[in-house]
Amino acid sequence: MPASWIKLLNFADVSLDDTATILFSSGSEGEPKGIELTHKNLLTNIRQISDLLNFRKDDVILNSLPIFHSFGLTVTTLLPLCEGVKMVSVPDPTDGATVGKMAARHNASILFGTSTFFRLYIKNKKLHPLMFQNIRMVVAGAEKLKTDVKEAFRLKFGLEIYEGYGTTETAPVAAVNMPNILEKETLKELTFNKQGSVGLPLPGTIIKIVDPESLQELATGEDGLILIGGGQVMKGYLNDAEKTADVIAEIDGVRYYKTGDKGHIDENGFITIVDRYSRFAKVGGEMISLGSVEEQIAQVLNDDVQFTAANVPDEKKGEAVVLLVKTELDINEVINILKNSAIPPLMQPSFVFKVDEIPTLASGKVDFKGAKKLAVTLVENNE
């Protein structure tokens, strides 16, 4: 329909700074917050992502992520609609068989997902590797990409997963790894991917590493609070000016979102996430990253074992690390594997409990708040 006809329909005038959608945070660490994203936020992020992906005429995006999550709304729903890219929708991202069938039937070429969902595709015997034979790019977001998932996905499907990073408050994407490129004139490799990192900032995105208290910028390679600035930074939290003020900082005329993530930037601009500041346990005066604990444990436990770490109050050490495990193994066998491993004593969990299910959110991410609550209950009942 011509633009002039659309104007005659008397649609309401909308500003780029008006609220386009209100998404609620996952609540993985606390109460969910209503996040107001403007038309500018969404359109900015769509353009940033599409400029990087460099779509081809025959590209097909497999859309299986929930649209109540910013990753699913912006990247796999609004982006293909705005950019005119063919999209194939699968309502349930955990249904690996259907994901595979739809990818094969419609020649899907780009797949977005989470570490949790990719693990399901690896394990699903009905999802044949050839179902993904037309896929040229796989991007992971929403949660940390587990090393074992990345390797197992490559082994089964012959595809590299490129990890990205963002938050609902930034509409959501802020950084991503991309395939390396060979410059034809010089025959030099241009590096856009670094193992263990979440990639480079998107075009038009400023990322700073600062002291969490003073907000003073830190030196290259030094760990600190990650700030994200750019046109994708949210309008604010719904009806909560106080919380908005707590997480938004204006530096040199640029609005930055305080992510709550601890990380650093290397000399080439690649960003590495250490952990959430809230996901540290203070054990005997030492700050222990729960994410690092999980990475150590992942190296010694079988891929079929699901687990998450939580911190609970401890009278002697201040806090203790608790490991929640979903497995068919006997719990004593799990404990012995950990004790006899090369995991440093400081990283060893003080308690290990077998559970029926690891608390998760609808997005597939671990429910850290629920996991901590369960861990506290299990420790109390164990005393």
- CA–CA separation, 322 vs 338, rounded Å? 13
Q: Give the tens place of pLDDT for each residue, 70-125.
A: 999 999 999 999 999 999 999 999 999 999 999 999 999 999 999 989 999 999 99
Based on the structure, what is the number of domains in the chain? 3
Distances (CA, A) of 181 to 177, 191, 192: 12, 7, 8
Tokens of 334: 């799990």
Residue 315 belongs to domain spanning: 279-382
Choice among 18-32, 143-157, 266-280 with the minimum mean pLDDT: 18-32
Residue 167's identity, in one-letter code, is T
User: Which pLDDT value is given to residue 97?
Assistant: 97
Counting Cα atoms < 13 Å in the Cβ hemisphere of 163 gives 22
User: Which pLDDT value is given to residue 356?
Assistant: 94
Average pLDDT, the chain: 92
Evaluate whether 184 touches 39 at the Cβ level (below 8 Å). Answer: no
When pLDDT is cut at 50, 70 and 90, the band that residue 199 belongs to is very high
**pLDDT greater than 70 at residue 147:** yes
Residue 25's identity, in one-letter code, is S
CATH of the domain at 80: 3.40.50.12780
- State yes or no: cis peptide before 172, omega within 30 of 0: yes
Among the candidates 238, 259, 275, a domain finishes at 275
User: Which pLDDT value is given to residue 381?
Assistant: 87
Closest among 165, 154, 78 to 118, alpha carbons compared: 154
User: Mean per-residue pLDDT for 194-202?
Assistant: 96
Choice among 202-206, 269-273, 378-382 with the minimum mean pLDDT: 378-382
Counting Cα atoms < 13 Å in the Cβ hemisphere of 356 gives 0
- CA–CA separation, 214 vs 193, rounded Å? 31
CATH of the domain at 369: 3.30.300.30
Establish if 199 belongs to a structural domain. Answer: no
**pLDDT greater than 90 at residue 27:** no
**Do 40 and 172 share a structural domain?**
yes
Q: Give the tens place of pLDDT for each residue, 265-302.
A: 999 999 999 988 888 888 887 888 898 899 899 889 98
User: Which pLDDT value is given to residue 315?
Assistant: 84
